[in-house]
Every structure is written in structure tokens, then in C-alpha cells.
Amino acid sequence: MRVVIAGGGIGGLTAALALHQRGIDVQVYESVRRLEPLGVGINILPFSMAVLRDLGLLDRLLELGLSNGELRFYNRHGQLVWAETRGADAGYGTPQLSIHRGRLQMVLLDAVVERLGADAVRTGCGLQGFESGDRSVRIELADRASGGTVHDEADLLIGADGIHSFTRARLNPGEGDPLWEGSLVWRGTTVAPSFLSGRTMIMAGHIPHKFIAYPITAPDAEGRQLINWIAVLDWRAQGLPAREDWTRQGRYKDFLPRFEGWRFEWLDVPALIAGADAFYEFPLVDRDPLPRWTHGRVTLLGDAAHPMYPVGSNGASQAIIDAVTLADALADGGDTGIDAALAHYESVRRPATAAIVAANRQQGAERILDLAEERAPDGFTSIDDVFAPGELQSIADSYKQLIGLQKPADPREL
Ligand SMILES: Cc1cc2nc3c(=O)[nH]c(=O)nc-3n(C[C@H](O)[C@H](O)[C@H](O)COP(=O)(O)OP(=O)(O)OC[C@H]3O[C@@H](n4cnc5c(N)ncnc54)[C@H](O)[C@@H]3O)c2cc1C
């Protein structure tokens, strides 16, 4: 069996490694000329870390990132609303990883090149056409270097080509641009002194005036860490900026003044923002779930299949689960069972991810913050005056259940 993957992002590269591990021949085509460590921080949930562990990457990732130990929600006055342990600290068999997105992508790329060979990822080759027959798919790519066209043929084409997926657009003509929720998001990284436990992720405020921060490296000799941060503001009055672009630089004047008063004893938010090397802006977008992912011998994976709001650390985590689910199904079915494998993959992953897209539109467990603001806009004396007994736990648990983050009875299962 030969599989072609369009897109060398986290989803596409994980799929390449998982397929190769199961003895399946893979070729990746990536449209950019050179894969570089772009982006800022990203968070990978324990069940997805188990996949990366099984691909032999856990130690390397922990060297480059940080095992997240705690999640805390605060209102915009800096009062603690909810706290829970995370990852290995919460009893999962694998950690929850906070890491620079580009570093994670480079670890995956290095592993693909080492295991599959340097030619397994062909950069500068963007998918621009395909035609699926009953048993194979013909693929056409634009070769940036020569300005010419590259042709390939495979048993299966996986479109892992991100939120602006060509594959998805070709299969769903007329779908149009991603849907904008009305918020603008600024993401940056700052080297700053550790805050709280040094392994804590915080979310403060509420939609649409929110701040998220978490460290993505271990402390250096001076106790400083690279801290990833995200600021969210309502941007409806200003209107949707041009098509979202992860490399578009933001401007302090657009958002820093709105966080000026957020100097808490546990974190000085304006100082963190002001210390950034660089930060990027993009609108908060997703897409409606599709009625199907697979058309003949073409299917979708990751953001191409289910772009979702960046809530609950699910974007890359779910792409990784897509990759291993598809690889397992194809390996189980063998050359004769490809269509059944695709049907199985879609029957498992499409409803699961559609439910997360919907839950993330309601802010997932971060809904706790919106409720706190709604019920106690001026703050509270005791959180017990704001939430009924067990209410916070129940919101947090039901979102975990939905995304597949139930704690196994035996942590070694993860
Ligand atoms: C440059 C960049 C920076 C990001 N930064 C962050 C971040 O800081 N924090 C965060 O949480 N998430 C970030 N993300 C998104 C996050 O990586 C994804 O949501 C998640 O990992 C899902 O991965 P994916 O592989 O499905 O999609 P992506 O990571 O988007 O990867 C898709 C890949 O497909 C390639 N591609 C696109 N069109 C074609 C085509 N026609 N043919 C071949 N290849 C094509 C793209 O160049 C890209 O490499 C970023 C994505 C990108 C592309």
C-alpha cells in the first residue's frame, strides 16, 4: 500500500511516522519550500502524548518542552475560580506537554527523515489537483523550484493541509472561508521569571476579554522560562482582518492597553506582554463540521478535517489521534481493506471531532470563566457563593469526557 500525504504539519508528519511504523509506504508533499520552526506555544494532551511516546519521541519532546502540571482559571480581578492538576501530576500515564509548536514539528520532521529517508518529505510541492478512481488516486502538485508540475499516484491521498486545505476545498466546492467568531487573538512568547508552580497554565478573564499563559521550557539558571501567552479581545467593531496568517505581526497598541490593569500577585500580565520578542495576530476561526471526509481514495486529517477554536488544547492533540486511528485502521485492513479502513476511521473520528468543534464554540471547560463573570462581575468573597457544590467539577469533567481525556483506572494504559 502506498499513501501520499499533502501537508507536513503536525498531523501530516505524525501520520507519516505512524503509517511507516505499521509497514506502509508513505510520501509527504509540503507546499512551503522549507519547513521551519514557526509558531509559538502549543499544548499536547496526555492521550496524544501516548501516541508520540509509542513513536519513540517522548524523551526528546520532554527535553525541548515542559510537562504541564496544573491548570488554573482566574477571573479578570485575579481571583482563583478553579484549579486542577494535569498530565502525569493528575495520574495519567503520560505527561501533558507544553512546547514551541515549531520545535515539535522539527522533532517529527527529523524522525521522518531519519526513518523514512530524506526524500520522504518533498517540500516546495503544493497539492493542486487529484482524481480518485475506485482503487487509486492520481495526484498533481505544483513544484515551486521548477515552476513545473509533479505527478504521483497512490492507493490513498490524505489531505493534512491545514485550515486552508486545498483538499477540503476541492471536495467541498463552495464552502468558502473559515468562520469568524468575532474575536482577535494575539499570541507571543516572552522570556520571563517563572510564575506559580513554574508548570502552571493559567486562563484569566472571560470571552471576549481573556488572557492565557503557560511556560514552554524548563527554567534556566536564573529561574526564567519561555512563556507562551495568548490575549483575546472582541474585534467585531473593527471587522475581520485579511485572511488569517500565523506570521502576521501584531501591534501593542491594539491590545496591551486593555490588559493594563491586570497586574496580579501571581502574574504581571502587561509586563509579560511587553517583554515579548515577537507576537502574531489572527482571528478566531473554525469551520462547520463536514457531512463526510472520505471521497473515494481521498480523506482528510487534522485542521483540514476539523478546524476548531483553540480551546482545551485540542488542535494538534486531535490531529495526532486522527493520524494513529487512520494508520491502525489501514494496517488492520491491509491492501484489500482500504475502503473499509477509511469508513472505520471516519466513523470514529468525524463524530468525535464534530462534538469538540461544537463544545469549543461554547468555550469547553473555559465556560467556567464566562459563568463566573456573568454571576459575579465585580468578583466574590467565596467561590462557593458563585457556583453550586460540585458544579465546577462537573463542567470540567464533562468536557474531559467529551474530548477523550478520561483518566484510565490503570495509568499504564495511557
Ligand atoms: C505556520 C503555522 C504556525 C502555527 N502556529 C501555531 C501556534 O503557535 N500555536 C498553535 O496552537 N497552533 C499553531 N498552528 C496550528 C497547529 O499547528 C494546528 O492546528 C495543528 O497542529 C493541526 O495540525 P495540521 O497538521 O492539521 O495543520 P497545520 O499545522 O496547519 O499543517 C498543515 C501543513 O500543510 C501545508 N500545506 C498547506 N496547503 C498545502 C498544499 N496544497 N499542499 C501541500 N501542503 C500544504 C502547510 O504549509 C502546513 O505545513 C500553526 C500552524 C501553522 C501552519
pLDDT at 369: 95
Q: What pLDDT, on the 0 to 100 scale, is given for residue 134?
A: 93
Question: Does residue 167 have its Cβ closer than 6 Å to ligand 1?
Answer: no
In this structure, what DSSP letter does residue 57 have? -
Question: Cell digits for 268?
Answer: 504581571
Select from 106, 107, 105, 85 the least CA-distant residue to 96. 85
Kindly tell me if the per-residue pLDDT of 74 is higher than 70.
yes
Q: What is the mean pLDDT of residues 131-142?
A: 97
The predicted-structure confidence for 155-167, as pLDDT tens digits, reads as follows: 999 999 999 999 9
First CA to last CA distance, the chain: 29
pLDDT at 342 > cutoff 90: yes
Which is nearest to 260 in space by CA: 76, 71, 30?
A: 76
Pocket probe for ligand 1: among 10, 32, 125, 357, the residue whose CB has the most ligand atoms within 8 Å is: 10
Residue 410: pLDDT over 70: no
From 51, 161, 190, 356, give the residue whose CB has the most ligand 1 atoms within 8 Å, as the site to mutate: 161
- 230 ligand 1 Cβ < 6 A: no
Q: In angstroms, rounded to a whole number, what is the distance separating the alpha carbons of residues 389 and 387? A: 6
Cα 126 to ligand 1 centroid, rounded to whole Å: 13
Question: Are the C-beta atoms of residues 246 and 280 closer than 8 Å to each other?
Answer: yes
Q: Which domains does the chain have, with CATH numbers?
A: 2-38+102-177+287-361 (3.50.50.60)
- Which protein residue has the closest C-alpha to ligand 1 atom 22? 316
Share of the chain above pLDDT 90, in %: 84
- The CB of 169 under 6 Å from ligand 1? The reply is no
- Which letter does DSSP use for residue 197 in this model? T
- How does residue 313 score in pLDDT terms, banded at 50, 70 and 90? confident
Mean pLDDT of 170-179: 94
Closest CA to 342 of 385, 300, 280, 398: 300
Does the pTM surpass 0.85? The reply is yes
- Please tell me the predicted confidence (pLDDT) of residue 411: 52
Asked whether the predicted pLDDT for residue 243 surpasses 90, the reply is no
Residue 317 has pLDDT above 80, yes or no: yes
Strand partners, 200: 70
C-alpha–C-alpha distance, residues 410 and 414, integer Å: 8
Give the pLDDT confidence score for residue 228 in this predicted structure. 97
Question: What tens digit of pLDDT does each residue of 205-229 get?
Answer: 998 899 999 999 999 999 999 999 9
pLDDT band at 413 (very low <50, low <70, confident <90, very high): low
Atom of ligand 1 nearest to the CA of 12: 25
Residue 287 Cβ < 6 Å to ligand 1 = no
pLDDT for 352-387, tens place per residue?
999 999 998 988 899 999 999 999 999 999 999 999
- 166 Cα: distance to centroid of ligand 1 (angstroms): 13
In the predicted model, is pLDDT for residue 68 greater than 60? yes
> What's residue 217's pLDDT?
97
Q: Which residues of 69-96 are buried (b: 16+ CB within 10 A; e: fewer)?
A: bbbbbbbbbbbebbebebbbbbebbbbb
The Å distance, Cα 58 to ligand 1 centre, comes to 21
Instruction: Please tell me the predicted confidence (pLDDT) of residue 404.
Output: 83
What mean pLDDT is reported for the chain? Answer: 94
Q: Is the CB of 373 under 6 A from ligand 1?
A: no
DSSP three-state, residue 202: strand
- Residues 313 and 311: their CA atoms lie apart, in Å, by 6
Q: Which residue's alpha carbon is at the smallest distance from atom 12 of ligand 1? A: 42
Cα 13 to ligand 1 centroid, rounded to whole Å: 11
